[in-house]
Each structure stands twice: as C-alpha cells, then as structure tokens.
Amino acid sequence: MSDNQNSTDLTKQDGHDSLDRFQDPGIPAHKSRMADRDPKAAKRAETQVVILFTISIIGTIGMLVAFFALPQNTSIAGIRTANLIIGLGLAFALLGIGLAAVHWAKTLMSDHEHVDERHGQRSSDTVRAEAVQALTEGAQDSGIARRGVLKGAVVTALALFPLAIAVPLVAEVGGDWNVSKFRHTLWKPKMRLALDPSGRPIKAEDVTIGSAFHVIPDVSEEVRTSHEWISEKAKAIVLMVRLDPRDLKEAEDRKGWSYDGIVAYSKVCTHVGCPVALYEQQTHHLLCPCHQSTFDVADGAKVVFGPAKRPLPQLPITVDDEGYLVAQSDFLEPVGPSYWERLK
Amino acid sequence: MSTSTAGPAEATADYLDQRTGIAGAVKEFARKVFPDHWSFLLGEIALYSFIVLILSGFFLTMFFVPSMGLITYHGEPATMDGQLMSEAFASTLHTSFEVRGGLLMRQIHHWAALLFMAAIVTHMMRVFFTGAFRKPRELNWMVGFLLMILGLAAGFTGYSLPDDVLSGNGLRITDGVVKSIPVIGSYMSYFIFGGEFPGEHIIPRLFTLHILVVPGLILALVALHLFFVVLHKHTQYPGGGRTNANVVGFPLFPVYVAKAGGFFFVVFGVIAAMGATMAINNVWNYGPYDPSPVSAGAQPDWYMLFLEGSLRLMPGQTEYVIAGYTLSLNILIPAVVVPGLLFTFLAIYPFLEAAVTKDKREHHVLDRPRNVPVRTGLGVAFLTAFIILALAGSNDLIATHFHLSINAITWVFRVLIFVGPVIAFWITKRICLGLQRKDRELVLHGHETGRIVRFAHGEYIEVHRPLDDQERWLRVNYTAHAPLEIDPATDSRGVRRKGYKKDRRLQRLSRFFYEDRVEPVTPSEVAASHSHGEHDALGTADETRAVESGSAVGGGSHIVNPDDGRSTKH
Amino acid sequence: MKALAARRHHRFAPVVLLLLALLVTGGVYAAFAPSPASADTASTEDIETGQKLFQANCATCHGPSAEGSDTVPSLVGVGAAAVDFQVSTGRMPMQMEAPQAIEKPRQFNEEQTAQLAAYVASLGAGPAIPTDEQVDAALGDPSNGAAVFRTNCAMCHNAVGAGGALSEGKFAPALWDTSERNIYQAMQTGPQSMPVFNDMNITPDEKRDVISYLVEQREGSAGGLDLGSLGPVSEGLWVWIVGMGLLIGAAVWIGAKSS
C-alpha cells in the first residue's frame, strides 16, 4: 500500500514506481473543422442554423393557428387530430431552437479546449485552525462552558418542542384510529345479495351453473350514491358462483353456508386487497389479476398458487321466502389483507 | 460611475453590480470549463424533464380538482357520460376533453415523468460504472440517491391523483402492504387514509405531497446536487492532457450555454412530440375508482414494476401466526426487505468501495468500466435483478404475448431472480478482464494491420502498427487496486491484536474485489516485448530471427517498418 | 408440335403445370360448392343436414348424440348461440390439444354453421342466436356498457378488451375483431373458462350496452397511437425505446466533434 493513498495532492499517483509509467502525452492536437477552414462551409453552417430557428418560428405560428382554428368539442378522432397538430407544432417550435443552438455550438463556436486548474477540497491547515479558533471563541463568549444544566436545558427544550407540532398533526391525520372497523362489513343477517353496480337483488334460480355474479349488499340508492359507500363497498364486495353440488367440497362446519351449489366468497384478496375477480368456469379457480393468487372456489377458496396465504372468507348465504339470496350473517373473520391484530 | 454614453447592457450591468457585486460571480463562472462527453448529458435529461414536469404540471393544476366528493359527470367521452365519479376523476376528464391542449399537457406531463425516472436510472448507472461517486463526491451520490427516491414518490403520488381504477388498485395494494407491517400497520393505514380505505382524504393529501412537498424537496436537493457539481468541478474521462488536477473542456459561455441550453429544447421537443403522437394513461378507459372492478394488466408505472414483480414472485406459505398475532412475511419480504436490500446496496456502495481500497485521495478522472471488473459486474448484477423483477411484474403480458403459462413464467422468474444476477456478475467480470487483456495486447504489440510480410528466408509475419501516444495513454492510465494488506493477527510479542477480525473481514471483501486484476502496461514491458533475447541487436532485415511463440495475439510481435520490411527496435 | 414437346423439359414446366392444376381444382370447387343460402328459420331439412355435419365432424369428440364424456362437454342444452359462436370463430372443430380452443379460420360457412346450430338446438332448449336488433351497437348506451364491462369483463379482457392472461396458459382473447353477434353469444353461453352471463345477470339491454362500449373502443384513443392499450408496461417500454433512444442519440450527437 502506497503512502500516496492518503495524499491530498491531486497529482500523486500510487502503486507502481512512478518512473516506470508512461507519460501523459498532453492534450491532443486541435483538429480544425470545415467551418474553420472554409468560409463557404461556415456560411453554410450559419444558414443551416438560421433555417432551424425558422422551423421553430413556423412551428410556433402553426401551433397557435391550429390552437384557435381547430374546432372544439368534436369526436374522438377530432380530439386526436387537434392533439396531434397542436402537439407537433409545439414540438417543432422547441426542437428548432434546440437543434439550432447545438448545431451553432458544434460548427461555428470556438472548439479550442480550455484547461482549468483543480484545487483539493480540503481547506488548508491554517484556515482550519482559524475556523476552530472562531468556534472556540464563540463558545467561550457564550459562557456555556461548565454550565452543564444550561446545556441540558437547551437540548431538552429544543428536542421537545417539535412534539407540540407533530403530535396534533399525527393524531388528527389518522381520523378516529378505530382499527376494529376492519372486522365488520355491511353484511347483516337477512340482507339481500344485489348485483354490482345496478343494485338489483338476485334470486337463487337466476344463478345458473357456470355463472359468476358480482355482488354487493342490497342497500338503497341513496346509500349507494353516498360517500361512505365506497369505503364500505371496499370490504363488502362478494363474488358468487354456482357449481354442480357434486363438485363442491365443503368443510363440516360450513355445510350450511352454501345454497344448492351456490357459494359466495369475499372478493377482496387476502394478499394485498385487489378484487379477486377472474372466475375460470371450467376449473372453478378464482384468479386475482394483481399478483396471480389463485383460489379454488370448490374447496373453500383455498390458495392453489401465488403469494396469498389465507383462503377467501366465505359469506354464509341462504334464501328468503321470495327466493332471493340473502346473507345469514356478516363474514366470520375480517376480510381482505392480513394485519397484525387480525386474529385478536 | 455610469456615464451617459453607456448602452443599455452596460447600464444594467452597472446597476446590478453597484447593488450586488455581481461582476465577481460573472468573472468566476462565465468561462468556467466543463469537460465534454455525451454521457454527461444524461443527468441533464433528468433535470430538463423535471422542468417540463413543473411547467406542464402547473398547467394541469389550473384545472384539476383534488377532491373525492361525488358528482355526476356530463361530457366526453360518451363512455363516461352520466356516470357518478369523484371530482378528481371528473376534472381529469374535463382537462382531457374540454380544455384545449389539456390532453396534450396531460400526456406531456406523464411522458416527462416516465422519462424523468428513466434518465435518473441511466444517469445513476453512468455515475456508478465510471466511479464518479468516489471521494469527494460520496455526498453528492447520496443526494442523487435521495432524488431517485423522491422521483419514485412524485410519480406514485402523481399517477394516483386522477382517482381511476388502475391507480386506485395501486393504492389498495399500498394499503395492504402497509397493513402487513407488524404492530403499527393498521394504524399506519388509518394515518395514510384518514380512516378506512379509501376514505375521502387520500386524493387531497396526495395532491399536497405531489405539488408542494415532493417537488419542494426535489428542487432543494437538485440545487444542492448542482452546487456540488460546481464546487467539485465535473469529472472527466481519462485521456491526453486530462489529469486529476485539471479540467479540460469548453467554457460555459458560449459553448455550454448553447449545447446544454439547446439540449433542454431538444428534450422538451421530444417529450412534446411523444405527447402529440402517443396516447398515455387514458384514465376514462379504466373508469373512476371503485373497489369492485379491476383490469387485466394491472401494473403500476414502469419504475414501480420492481415492487410489483417482487410481490408476484413471493410464494404465499410464509405467513405465520405467533401468539395470535399475524406476521405476513409473504408481503414484508417482497415489499420491504427486497427493496430495502436493493436500495441499501445502492446507497452505501461508495462507502463500501472506500472501505475495501482504503483509498483516501480525491478522484476526478473517471474509470473505464473494464478497469474495475468487480464493480462493473456488481452493477450489471444489480441491473439484472431489477430487470428480472420488472419482467416478473409484467408476467401476465408476457404470457399473453408469447402464449405461455403465467404460472410457468412465475416459476422461471422465481429461480432466475437468484441465479440470474450471479451469472450476470460472473459473465460481466470475465468480459471486463478479457477487455483489459485485449488492451494490454494492443499496447504491447500494436494494431494488426492485416499486412502480411514474407521474408526472404520464408518467415511470414503480420505487420503491427504501434499505438500512437493518445491511444496508448488511454489504455495505460489507470490503477489496478490490489487487495488490502493488514497487520498480522498477533503483534511482535504474540498478543492478539484487537480489531484483527474486522480487518480480516475487510481483507476478504477486498480480495473479492481486487484479487483478479490486470495491471496496466509499463514502458519496460513494452520494451521487453520488442526485444526478445537475440533481437536486441537487430537492425537489418536478417534471416536469423527466432519466431515468436510467446505472444497470444495472432502472429508475430515484430514492429516492422511497413515500407521496407526492416525491423526496428523500440 | 415439336416446339411444344421441346418445351416440356423447360425448367418452368412444373410450375406451369402446378398453376394449371390449382386453377382447375379451384374452378371445379367453385362450380360445385354450395352457394350460401339465407335461411333464417331452421327447417327440418336444416336439422337433418346439421345432424349429418355433426356426425361427420363433431361426434368423434362430443359423442353421437352430443352427450359428451368425462373430458368433453355435453352439447345438450347449449343452444344455437353456443354453436354459432364456437363454429363461426373457428374454435370448433378443435384442432389440437391446447390450454383452450383457439380462434382460427372458420371451417364451416354461414349456412353450414346455421345447420349445425339448428341440430344442436333441437337436442335441448338453450340460448338462441340473437337478432340483429339485439346486437345493434347504435341502439346501446356505451356509458352503461362501460360500467357493466368494467365490473364483469375488464378483469379478464382488459379495460378496453385488449385481452388478458388467465392461469396455466389460458387467456381471455382480445375483442377488437369480434363480431357484435359473437360478443352477445359469448356472454350468453360462457365459452370454456368464461363464466355464463345469463339474462338475469346481464340483461339483454345491458349486453347490447356492452357491445356498444366495445364498438366505441374501436375508434382508437383520443391521445394518439394507443400502443396496444396494454397499460403502463407498454408505456414504460416505449419511453425507453423512443424517449431515451432519441435523447441518447441526441446526446451522442451533441458530444461528438463536428467535422
């Protein structure tokens, strides 16, 4: 290891014996350009620059003319044309200037290389000493030396005051902090299953084998157009399918949750929450398009592929007197992605 | 004192100088020298894209309504007419279809954002592979790293603003990831959304972040970034006359004002042309955000694809319940640990290299990537990992386009994410070492001219043309770092030295970096290659030359005068 | 005569012969192939001809009375709509083993397809082929269609019907070139992986709205080239190829020495 590793002199090399190294041949000789040698070439280059600036001017004018001349409120094709013409006008306006400036620099501006000296970043020892002295004098002037309690008080006060701003901010930004809301959805006993987005309730006989129904709770139009609805819908969406009852494998404690082969599962993926909506009728697999978690609807919606761990929560359903499908209760576990206190 | 005969320019200069002393700055900066290379313009692409973002973004803020309040929209396109949607989404439609030039500005804004991140990545790669992050520029590397993170934040907050189904599902995924954080996850979710997802606050909050906080931080850090470039002066590639103690190039005024200023217009012009011709983020096709719909091809913007791929590749079994609490490693690992590792590697790299070389000097001459094989290999390995993750995030599009099974693709990438970077590292390192050896051969033996000369005694040689000074200098002007040497484990009295274990670890790492190296050619080696034993005395084209068997590069190592076949010694 | 005989060894002779043979075959076929007749109601004759076509082309897999087997679905009750969809898109007869039946050039013309459909419809009541009015895009509401499509279809077929991936190599095809009738029939019959969207789920009017939405998408994008309407991945790809490509090119030009 060479001592030169620690050197602040920018010119020192390290490693080999500096005698057995090639010498710097210096800056390569300047090669003249056509425009330097031949005044006609220089004139040509100048003309080219002028033409490019002119293209820019034409672009600007063209863009402004199009902007005012093109009709508004037209068809998709009309908007596309307006976008194209105005945009290209702008593009030419800009490119003309850019290409002109660069071409000018390359062909006409002096291309003789200059050399500047670098200086090491480190301040000289003298300056450093003066800096240290300035700070020391300042500290002495402040009278803080040997006043430990004073130092402690300064630090404590300064460290604490940001809390006065941060705590109210953080506290209020989180709303009511009521994370237990994750456990409950809008579904209640005897609540009808309705079509998403129209809101029409669904009869069991309408659900034929091979169907996939996108379901929301049956709520009034007023609720469905309110603002709170979207946050509730985000937990309440359900996918309902009908299988041949012979294909349906049900756990003992869930035998009463389906109705004649009709099963309903939460549509919120247990991975990170996208709607699990791709129902493959023939394999009865439910695929989530975001990260490809795949759930088997015929077997408790358990995970058969992908980054999800838990099966989709099942909504227990039955039928009311008029034949409409209804929920028996809310989901028996929180829907959607896992979180720390989920099972508590 | 101004005189009455001074022109307007002189009068203005005088007015300013009397109040600010600006002549000093003008003197200092007007003719400041900057080195010239196209790869130094990559950072400028990022800078200029950012300016385009600010200009086009300002236009958009004149029309965007950052509110999640619901309204019924009437207007173009026909597929959205009469639908209930948030004001944010409705104002985006209004901007696109009713404001003249609005769609153009939206598209310019989004293309500029994608280009901003692409330029940042390309510029960062250039800085990495040329070693421009070495002292004194480690701090600037950190600033640049932070700018990249802020760029990601700006993009993410920005494309979520229209409140459409695609970006809304992105926010949903973010919420899911946040919820998986142990202990505080559900509270963090409440913090971000002001309640349950999606609530009514997220769009206005993202708006404030997107137009005030993030751009403010970016502007401040960009100013610092450029300040460092001016303070440290720009680095330069090795070449004749370029030393560690000078800057060779052209003056700021007029050459760089014209070239760099012109480049701004070129960048803006290209973005404008893209905005005019290529559709991007047609949010009316995705529809206003609703938690129920989702579209096939559900991906974020390209610079977030690494996260998307990471989430898609992780198998799901790794979620555990411990004492009733749920620990979702299947989300934490891909969304927190993997990006954490990747970004930490990037951030600390300058300090890692400084530790394994113990090199405390300033470096202003750049490295040729081939001369630092392990660094280049690590960079390529990192890029490979990043690209594999991005491809994994696009696995459904790969499946449809190449008629493959998405499950098979996922499994292939699960293996490749580990194997790919290792193979990429090894191949790159070997290529670098090979290129270095080729450079050595070139310096020692010169260019092959293709001219074959036959001597009277029957020997054939190929004539080699020696490198000129500049070509040779480029290939020999570098340092091949050697692995660290450390003090022995025990001192002279046999007492174990404190800190030996740490030194040993550092030495092992240093060996990984520098054990395989190719030294630059020295003048004595060149001399030795030209005179092999009995050739020292040669002066005429004589038949008693021994045929060279030592050189690996085709044919002889004679430096032969092309015109008269006479061998000359150097 | 000698001249002709001499020419028979000319190197182009086989080519000429081949062309002649093709022309003759084509001509004979064109002369004898049945011309498409427009039959809008299925006559007994149609059902009989359809049965013959069925026995010749479909029974090997679907069984002599279309009863199916463990691996092949029964066609009893699938209705004329299913047959019209599958046969007119060329999915059936299925050519080879694949994750799903792929659209290919249709093997049977309109008349034959109608006959097959009539025969299968006679086996058991099922969805009928929709009328022209039921699938007329001009009569539908593209806005409602967008809402229905978004909830029920976009997750497989992509937001504008550009297609998407399903598991294990299956896919939901792009809908750019699908006829209005087939869009309706696909919803009605739920081919292969696609669920069945019966009229209680998506009403006939809503189905027409969906058709109206999809036809509207064929106008292209208001913003310019739609780049396949595949979303952010293709946008990212193009920004690197076009954006960075052009700008790095410009940078190289700027940094290069002028001649």
Is B240–A26 a contact, with Cβ atoms under 8 angstroms apart? yes
- The helix, strand and coil proportions of chain A, stated in percent and rounded to the nearest 5, come to 45, 15, 40
Dist CA B211 CA C244 (whole Å): 25
Nearest by CB: A211 against C147, C198, C259: C198
Is B248–A170 a contact, with Cβ atoms under 8 angstroms apart? no
Mutate to test the interface with A, among C151, C156, C199, C210 (most CBs of A within 10 A): C151
Matching fold, domains C44-123 and C137-219: yes
pLDDT value for C17 = 85
pLDDT value for C95 = 80
Exposed, middle or buried, A249 (CB in 10 Å: 0-12/13-18/19+)? exposed
Q: Which chains touch A (3 or more CB pairs under 8 A)?
A: B, C
Write the pLDDT tens digit of every residue in A269-317.
Answer: 999 999 999 999 999 999 999 999 999 999 999 999 999 999 999 999 9
- Going by C-alpha positions, the residue among A301, A300, A210, A290 that lies closest to residue A250 is A300
Question: Measured between CB atoms, does A91 come within 8 Å of chain C?
Answer: no
* Average pLDDT in chain B: 90
- Partners of A238 in beta bridges: A215, A266
Answer whether the bond into residue B198 is a cis peptide, omega within 30°.
Answer: yes
Nearest by CB: A87 against B104, B173, B233: B104
Percent of chain A beyond pLDDT 70? 95
Minimal Cα–Cα distance from B311 to chain C, Å?
16
SS (H, E, C) B151-184: HHHHHHHHHHCCCEHHHHHHHHHHHHHHHCCCCC
Q: The domain B34-239+255-367: what is its CATH number?
A: 1.20.810.10
Query: Which residue has better confidence, B550 or B286?
Result: B286
Is B405–C242 a contact, with Cβ atoms under 8 angstroms apart? no
ipTM of the complex: 0.93
pLDDT value for A12 = 60
Range of lowest pLDDT (A119-128, A201-210, B2-11): B2-11
Question: Measured between CB atoms, does B72 come within 8 Å of chain C?
Answer: no
| In contact, B234 and B34? CB cutoff 8 Å | yes
Q: Does domain C44-123 have CATH number 3.40.50.1220?
A: no
Neighbours of C26 (CB within 10 A): 10
Residues near B306 by beta carbon (within 8 Å), at least 6 away in sequence: B339, B342, B386, B389, B390, B393
Minimal Cα–Cα distance from B278 to chain A, Å?
9
**With 80 as the cut, is the pLDDT of residue C31 above it?**
no
Residues near B311 by beta carbon (within 8 Å), at least 6 away in sequence: A271, A272, A290, A291, A307, B173, B177, B331, B334, B335
Residues near A312 by beta carbon (within 8 Å), at least 6 away in sequence: A265, A266, A267, A268, A269, A270, A276, A286, A295, A301
DSSP C177: T
Displacement of CA A97 from its chain's centroid (Å) = 35
Quote the tokens at residue A234: 């985000």
Q: Which chains touch B (3 or more CB pairs under 8 A)?
A: A, C
Query: Which residue has better confidence, A224 or B555?
Result: A224
Is B268–A94 a contact, with Cβ atoms under 8 angstroms apart? yes
| Residues of chain A contacting C148 with CB distance shorter than 8 Å | 197
Write the pLDDT tens digit of every residue in B517-556.
Answer: 999 999 998 888 876 533 333 333 433 343 333 343 444 4
Is A289–C155 a contact, with Cβ atoms under 8 angstroms apart? yes
Is C257–A31 a contact, with Cβ atoms under 8 angstroms apart? yes
Closest-approach residue (CA) in chain B for C211: B79
Nearest by CB: B470 against A25, A72, A338: A25
User: Taking an 8 Å Cβ-Cβ cutoff, which residues of chain C contact chain A?
Assistant: 147-148, 151-152, 155-156, 164, 166-168, 170, 190, 192-198, 200-201, 219-224, 253-254, 256-259
Nearest by CB: B292 against A93, A102, A275: A275
Q: To 10 degrees, what angle do helices C204-217 and C142-152 make?
A: 100
**With 90 as the cut, is the pLDDT of residue B168 above it?**
yes
pLDDT value for A227 = 82
- DSSP assignment string, A117-128: E---SSPPHHHH
A74 falls in which pLDDT band (50, 70, 90)?
confident
Q: Which chains touch C (3 or more CB pairs under 8 A)?
A: A, B
Residues near B344 by beta carbon (within 8 Å), at least 6 away in sequence: none
Displacement of CA B99 from its chain's centroid (Å) = 37
Is A280–C170 a contact, with Cβ atoms under 8 angstroms apart? yes
A108-127 average pLDDT score: 91
Nearest by CB: B294 against A22, A178, A289: A289
Minimal Cα–Cα distance from A258 to chain B, Å?
22
In this structure, are strands B325-328 and A212-217 parallel, antiparallel, or unpaired? unpaired
DSSP A251: -
- DSSP assignment string, B454-523: E-TTS-EEEEEEPPPHHHHHHHH----PPPP----SB-TTSPBPTTHHHHHHHHHHHHHHHSS--PPP-H
Is A230–B290 a contact, with Cβ atoms under 8 angstroms apart? yes
Query: Which residue has better confidence, B501 or C3?
Result: B501
Closest-approach residue (CA) in chain B for A100: B262
Helix (H) / strand (E) element for B443: namely helix B406-445
Quote the tokens at residue A233: 């819908």
- Going by C-alpha positions, the residue among B433, B522, C197 that lies closest to residue A210 is C197
| In contact, B315 and A296? CB cutoff 8 Å | no
Helix (H) / strand (E) element for B320: namely strand B319-322
| In contact, C212 and C145? CB cutoff 8 Å | yes
Nearest by CB: A341 against B186, B259, B334: B186
What count of residues does chain B have? Answer: 570
Dist CA C221 CA C55 (whole Å): 47
Look-up: residue for tokens 């001349």? A69
Is B199–A341 a contact, with Cβ atoms under 8 angstroms apart? no
Neighbours of C56 (CB within 10 A): 9
Mutate to test the interface with C, among B38, B47, B256 (most CBs of C within 10 A): B38
> Model pTM?
0.90
Give the residue extent of every domain in chain B: 34-239+255-367, 440-537
| In contact, A145 and A139? CB cutoff 8 Å | yes
Question: Measured between CB atoms, does A287 come within 8 Å of chain C?
Answer: yes
**With 50 as the cut, is the pLDDT of residue B570 above it?**
no
Nearest by CB: A76 against C152, C195, C219: C219
**With 80 as the cut, is the pLDDT of residue A158 above it?**
yes
Dmax (CA) for chain C in angstroms is: 85
pLDDT value for B3 = 52
**With 90 as the cut, is the pLDDT of residue C36 above it?**
no
| In contact, A305 and B407? CB cutoff 8 Å | yes
pLDDT value for B413 = 97
**With 50 as the cut, is the pLDDT of residue A136 above it?**
yes
Range of lowest pLDDT (A2-16, A173-187, B27-41, B314-328): A2-16
Minimal Cα–Cα distance from B534 to chain C, Å?
46
Per residue in B228-242, is it b (16+ CB within 10 Å) or e — as a string?
A: bbeebbbbbbbbbbb
Is C219–A277 a contact, with Cβ atoms under 8 angstroms apart? no
pLDDT value for B569 = 45
Residues near C104 by beta carbon (within 8 Å), at least 6 away in sequence: C90, C91, C95
State how far the alpha carbon of B135 is from the alpha carbons of A8, B139, B232, B370, in Å: 11, 9, 10, 20
Architecture of the domain whose range is C137-219: Orthogonal Bundle (1.10)
Percent of chain B beyond pLDDT 90? 82
Write the pLDDT tens digit of every residue in C51-62.
Answer: 999 999 889 889
Give the residue extent of every domain in chain C: 44-123, 137-219
**Strand extents, DSSP E, chain A:** 114-117, 193-195, 212-217, 238-242, 262-266, 278-280, 285-287, 294-296, 302-305, 317-319, 325-327
Please state which of the four CATH numbers 2.102.10.10, 3.40.630.30, 3.60.20.10, 3.90.76.10 is assigned to the domain occupying A185-327. Answer: 2.102.10.10
State how far the alpha carbon of A96 is from the alpha carbons of A43, B50, B276, in Å: 19, 21, 16
Give the residue extent of every domain in chain A: 34-107, 185-327
